[in-house]
Each structure stands twice: as C-alpha cells, then as structure tokens.
Amino acid sequence: MIERYTLPEMGALWSERNKFQKWLDVELAVCEVHAEMGTIPREAVEEIKRKAAFTVERIHEIERTTDHDVIAFTTALAESIGEAARFVHYGLTSSDVVDTANALLLRDSCDLLLQKTDALMEVLKRRAFEFRATPQVGRTHGVHAEPTSFGLTFALWFDEMRRNRARLERAREAVAVGKISGAVGAFAHLDPEVEERVCARLGLKAAPVSTQVIQRDIYAEYLSTLAVVASSLDKFALQVRHWQRTEVREAEEQFKKGQKGSSAMPHKRNPILSERICGMARLLRGYAVVGLEDVALWHERDISHSSAERVVLPDASIALDYMLAKTSSLVGTLVVYPERMLENLNATRGLVFSGQLLLALTRAGVSRERAYEWVQRSAMKTWDEGGDFRAHVLADADISSRLTREEVEQVFSLDGYMRNVGAVFARVFGEEAQS
C-alpha cells in the first residue's frame, strides 16, 4: 500500500523486516520442538537462537541470485549462525514457514482492525445519543418519505459495525492456522506432533489436513470479511456525501483552517474524506475477488496465488485499517445542521405526514383503499398546484366529514414519528438507552 494510506502500526506489521522476523519466529519454534523431541541437539538450538540474525538488504541481495526468497532467507541466516545452521529448516518446505508466518501476520492484523472497529463504534454510539431527539426527513428512492430521528442513522451504523466486529472475530479465528507438514502435506519428514507443538508454541491451531499450503479458502474468508467491513464504511461515507450536497446541507465534513476545496473555486468545501473512503472500498472488494480466485490451485500446490497475495494481504489490511481510522474521524467531527434538517422536513409543505393521515382515517372507519384515495388526492394537489398540504386536507369534504379539525392538527405532529425512537435505542444499546 502506498505511504499516503498507511498508518504506522499496521504499516510496521506488514513491513519486510517484520515479515522476515515472523519467518524466523517459525524457524526457531520448529528448532525448539525438534530439540524437545530429541531430533536435533539442544546445544545447536541454543547456538541458533543466539546467533540468528538477518538484514533485509542481504536477503534481497542473495535473492537476486537464487530467485527464491525463502532460500535467500535461510542462506542469510546460515551466514550469521555458522555450523549449527544445518538444523535450520530441518524437514520443512518453504510454505511451512511462509503460511505459518502469514497466520501470525493476519491474526495480528485482525487485532489492530478490531481495535479500530471498537473506536469507531464508540464514536457512533456518542453521536447516536447526541442526535436521538433530532428530527430529520427520511428518504426512500431519494424522495422525502416520513420524519425520522437523525440519531437513528448512527444507531443503525453502530449495529452494523457490531456485526462487522463479529465477522472480524470469526476471520481472526479462521486465519490463525499453521502447518508444518512438508512438501505435499503428508508429513514424510516430520512427525505430526512437531506441527501440533510448533503451532501451540506460536498460539495457532494446526491445520487438520493440508497440502504444501494452507488452503486458500481461509485467506478468501479474511479478504471477503475485510471487503464487507469496507462496504459498510462505503455506505456511511456515501450518506455523508449526500448530506453535504448544497441542496441538502444537513451535515458536512469538518473543514479545517487553511484547508482548500478547489484550485479554481475558492468557495468549495467538498466531502473529500467521504469520497476517499468510498473509493478505497472498491479496492477492498477487488482484493476479495483476488482471494476467491486464489482458492483453486493445481494438485498439492502451484504458486499462481503467491504473487497476488504479496499485494492483496498487506494492502487489504493496511487499507481497511486506514479506512476505519478515517471513518472514526469523519463521524466524530461531522458538522451537523439541525435547523437545516427542519427546513428540509418542511420543504414539501406537510406531505411527509400523509402516512399518519392515512392511519387516522382508517381508525375513523374509512376503508384503507378509500382513505388512500382521499389522502393522495390532496397530496397530488399539493405537488402539482402548490399550497399547503394541511390546508388542502382541511378543505377536503370527504376528509373533514370523518376527522375534526383537532384530529387533523394532531396528524401534523412529529410526536407520532419520534415516540418509539427510545425503544429502538433500547434494542441497540440496552440499559444505556434508559439513562
């Protein structure tokens, strides 16, 4: 991932240095288990642990000759270790090291993503409670529908991120799987107990069965999970972009001092962060497709997946880490205009109360079909001829024959639309919603 979208902690996790360190962690764990089982001398393991060292530059230098990164890595280790290096990589194939190390990297990535998910959920909860009683027009098909609570939007997003958190937890469990089973997964040169002990030492589960590689449905699940989370963030950011449109202007991204919106138009304040989040979500969905394409490999293994994974595993992790952090900032500093929400709510001159009027007429004994016809008649008159919907309703002989003026006035009230918001909050937030 380019530096522009890389945050320090996740970037360090996926650095070349840390990747090779994880490879070394796996190699050392295997050596330790071999020593415990009497396969290699304990003194050799102590020497390996004491002397093992590498530099990224030296590994790359060797790889220019070997054209094989794991061999370059073990060769660089051998240069630092000396004679005892013959016990490094004992009985292993490259993917034993790479895939088990990947499990460590992906597991640790999930931990960072879960931390940022928790932070976003806290922001969403705060803003949900802040705007629980703020009325806003709800929209369906992009057209004004009925009044709703602005806070419900953030409650909805909170609940969605709670599901995403559960997905990330499941993905973390899925990827935390190692394999030390040899060239075709048949344990020809290793006892299966070595795999079990190595994985336990590294905090991983041992794959029940493998080929030369961990099966790529596991990585596909990880990448697909990240794509789902990114798509939720895309959804949130797209809504902010709508709110910031000049014709709507119910909320907008914070515009900091010194910020510029356009090189040509000094008045511009654009939703650039929301647009960035939406754009990056497209990357994550693309990475998920790559993960799915990597599931099918020839026989016990080919390396058609390898080149793609070198890009998509770090990039997807780094990109979503960035997106989560930026979405927290976006929502946390969002500038909200409740007065503009009321203006927009009133823009259709009362039409948003048509549903409440329909129900009032059915309670008064009018059939639903006839009540719908009467209400729609006044609504279409308001759309086509202008004027106020309430005035048209009061002037309608059919409606006034069934509802008193006071009953009509009650229809044009926000109370009916807002009275159960607290019940929804109780569902989402539990006891906190009662305070």
- The mean pLDDT value for 11-30 works out to 98
Tell me, what amino acid is at 120? L
pLDDT tops 90 at residue 282: yes
- The mean pLDDT value for 118-138 works out to 97
* pLDDT tens per residue, range 48-84: 999 999 999 999 999 999 999 999 999 999 999 999 9
Return the CATH fold of 346-434.
Ribonucleotide Reductase Protein R1; domain 1 (1.10.40)
pLDDT tops 80 at residue 179: yes
* pLDDT tens per residue, range 145-172: 999 999 999 999 999 999 999 999 999 9
* pLDDT tens per residue, range 332-342: 999 999 999 99
Q: How far apart are CA 147 and CA 133, in angstroms?
A: 12
Q: How far apart are CA 104 and CA 193, in angstroms?
A: 20
The reported pLDDT for the residue numbered 311 is: 97
Choosing among 3.40.50.880, 1.10.275.10, 2.60.120.260, 3.40.50.300, the CATH entry for 1-90 is: 1.10.275.10
- The mean pLDDT value for 279-298 works out to 98
* pLDDT tens per residue, range 353-411: 999 999 999 999 999 999 999 999 999 999 999 999 999 999 999 999 999 999 999 99
Active-site residue among 60, 68, 189, 262? 262
Active-site residue among 141, 263, 299, 307? 141
Is residue 296 within 8 Å of 215, Cβ to Cβ? no
Neighbours of 369 (CB within 10 A): 8
Return the CATH fold of 91-255+263-341.
Fumarase C; Chain A, domain 2 (1.20.200)
Active site residue 141: yes
pLDDT tops 80 at residue 434: no
257 exposure class (CB count in 10 Å sphere: 0-12, 13-18, 19+): exposed
Residue-range domain boundaries for the chain: 1-90, 91-255+263-341, 346-434
The reported pLDDT for the residue numbered 435 is: 67
pLDDT tops 90 at residue 260: no
Active site residue 354: no
